A = this chain, B = another copy of it.
Amino acid sequence: MTMQSLRSNKRKPTHPGAILREDILPELGITQTDLADRLKVSRRTISEIIHERRPLTADMAIRLAHFLDTTPESWLNMQQAVDIWELQNGNDKLYKNIKKFVYEAAA
């Protein structure tokens, strides 16, 4: 069956932690430990995000935005895409049962 509709055909969006891991940290040339200190979070939090085991929360997005002089939105949008993708590719049974609204013919 060549299904093309389900939006699940797109591959999983990039986790913001991957950007941190592959682009930001190498670029800045600082350790995870240093980043954690500067953002005032635990080393563990950085490690888990970098390995994509945790979502990058709104709080972390703001911290990064301050530190990197970017916007919180740019970070959160990435996470949002991951969140949506994961829910859709896991609860598809459930969501399939939600029927589209149709206007009723007036009696």
Interface residues of A (CB under 8 A from B): 28, 30, 38-40, 58-59, 61-63, 66-69, 72-73, 76-77, 80-81, 83-84, 87-88, 91, 94-95, 97-101, 103
Report whether B58 and A100 are in contact in the complex, using a CB–CB cutoff of 8 Å: no
Task: Choose among B28, B68, B72, B98 the residue that contacts A84 (Cβ–Cβ < 8 A).
Answer: B72
Report whether A38 and B101 are in contact in the complex, using a CB–CB cutoff of 8 Å: yes
Report whether B84 and A58 are in contact in the complex, using a CB–CB cutoff of 8 Å: yes
Starting from the known contacts A40-B94, A59-B91, 12 additional A-B residue pairs (CB-CB under 8 Å) come to: A28-B103, A38-B99, A38-B101, A40-B97, A58-B83, A62-B87, A67-B98, A68-B100, A69-B100, A73-B81, A73-B84, A76-B83
Contacts of A38 in B (CB 8 A): 98-99, 101
Q: Given the complex of chains A and B, what is the CA–CA distance between A101 and B64 in angstroms?
A: 10
Contacts of A103 in B (CB 8 A): 28
- 27 example contacts (A-B, Cβ-Cβ < 8 A) are as follows A28-B103, A30-B101, A38-B98, A40-B98, A58-B80, A58-B83, A58-B87, A59-B91, A62-B87, A62-B91, A62-B95, A63-B98, A66-B99, A66-B100, A67-B99, A67-B100, A67-B101, A69-B100, A69-B101, A73-B81, A73-B84, A76-B80, A76-B83, A76-B84, A77-B77, A77-B80, A80-B80
